Amino acid sequence: MKGIASTTAARCDRSLLYAAELQHRASNEYASVISFVSRLAALSPALETKSVLSRVIDRLHAASKVQHVLRPPVPGETVEFTAGVEKLSVAFASAVLKQRGIHLDLTVSGSAMIDAMRAWRANLIISELITNSVRHAHFEKASWIRIVVATNGADVFCQVSDNGTSAAAAEPGVGSHLIDALAEELDGRITRSFTGLGAVVTLCFPTEP
């Protein structure tokens, strides 16, 4: 039994290593592009061009913060889950939603200290759900995405909904498969519903594996 546990831990460590490397590469790419655009802005004599490039730089900085919030955690740590969701929501609102005129509403009930790895997986799911709403929903006026997080100490309930119309019959994409796989690793479950009022996706998982 000890050998099996050691093998599982080693695989987990390798997976974290790969995820950390990919996140590090993404951060470096953001820094490189920001530096390039900053040089263009400095070289341009046109004030309007400088202003546009400045907005691009701000957008890139905001997007890089989302990557920072979603960086792989240190194994063995314990974190307050709802605080992490709040940071993720703020980063997403600044990086993506404000520019598209989409309001992000977050409601939190309760608090839960959980393993950092479990919190990370849950945040990856929430991030993918927000991204799916932005990409696939057809928003009109007063667009919004709503996140509800609640916990009773033993279980965590996360719901992401929007008021954009989407096709319920659409074939599940890579994002949907990733969400389901991550939920399975959390010993959790995903439920989806699509109505004329928008999409509602719910994740439930125990605080302990």
Which pLDDT band holds residue 174 (cuts at 50, 70, 90)?
Answer: confident
Which pLDDT band holds residue 4 (cuts at 50, 70, 90)?
Answer: very low
Query: What are the angstrom distances between the C-alpha of 2 and each of 5, 8, 9, 14, 186?
Result: 5, 10, 11, 18, 22
Query: What is the spatial distance between Cα 201 and Cα 89, in angstroms, rounded to a whole number?
Result: 16
67 has pLDDT over 90: no
Joined tokens for residue 208: 């302990």
pTM of structure: 0.82
62 has pLDDT over 60: yes
Q: Which residues pair with 119 in a beta bridge?
A: none
Instruction: State the average pLDDT over residues 186-206.
Output: 91
- b or e along 38-76 (b: 16 or more beta carbons within 10 Å of the residue's beta carbon)? eeebeeeeeeeeeeebeeebebbebbbbbbebbebbeee
120 has pLDDT over 90: yes
One CATH from 3.10.105.10, 3.40.50.720, 3.30.565.10, 3.30.70.360 for 77-209: 3.30.565.10
Which pLDDT band holds residue 115 (cuts at 50, 70, 90)?
Answer: very high
Closest C-alpha among 188, 136, 191 to residue 160? 191
- The answer to whether the beta carbons of residues 150 and 174 sit under 8 Å apart is no
Instruction: State the average pLDDT over residues 14-29.
Output: 79
Joined tokens for residue 91: 């980063």
Instruction: State the average pLDDT over residues 132-142.
Output: 77
194 has pLDDT over 90: no
Helix locations, the chain, DSSP H: 2-43, 47-69, 81-92, 98-100, 116-136, 174-185
